[in-house]
Amino acid sequence: MVKPVRQQRWTASRQREIVLEILKGHITIVDVAREHDVKQSEIRQWIDTFIAFGTQALKVHPKSVEAVEQKELKQHRERIGEMVLQIEVLKKAEAILSEEESPFYD
C-alpha cells in the first residue's frame, strides 16, 4: 500500500472544505488524518479556528487577525465615545428641563 504524500501547504479553501465535510458528518477526523497524513490535532485546530473566526482566519496571517481585531476595537471605542457624548447631552437637557419646571420663589 502506497502512503499518500503529505500536502505541504493547505489552502484556506481546502481546509474549509474539509472542516465543513467533518461538521456535516460526511467524513471523520480520523478518515481525513489517514487519507492525507495529517495529525488529528491539526485538523481539530482547523475546526476550532473555523468555528471561532470563520474562513477569513484560515486565510490570513495571525498578525492580520490581530489587525482586524484592533480595527474592530477602534470602531467599538469610537461608538462608545459617541454614546458618552449623547449621554452628556441628555444629562444637560434634563438639567435644563428640570430648572424650567421648578417653581420660582421670590
Domain that holds residue 90: 61-101
Question: Do 54 and 14 sit in the same domain of this protein?
Answer: yes
Q: Do residue 69 and residue 54 come from a single domain?
A: no
Does residue 25 come out as left (phi exceeding 0), alpha (psi in the -120 to 50 range) or beta?
left
Q: How far apart are CA 10 and CA 68, in angstroms?
A: 22
Same domain, 25 and 43: yes
Q: Among 15-19, 63-67, 69-73, which stretch is predicted with the lowest mean pLDDT?
A: 63-67
- More confident of the two residues 62 and 38: 38
For residue 68, is it within any domain? yes
Domain count, the chain: 2
Query: How far is it, in rounded angstroms, from Cα 80 to Cα 82?
Result: 5
Q: Quick one: DSSP state of residue 106?
A: -
Note whether 46 and 68 are same-domain residues.
no
Do 15 and 49 fall into the same domain? yes
pTM here is 0.47
Query: What integer pLDDT is reported at residue 83 of this predicted model?
Result: 96
Instruction: Name the pLDDT band for 66 (thresholds 50, 70, 90).
Output: confident
3 neighbors 37 (Cβ within 8 angstroms): yes
Q: Tell me what the pLDDT averaged over the chain comes to.
A: 84
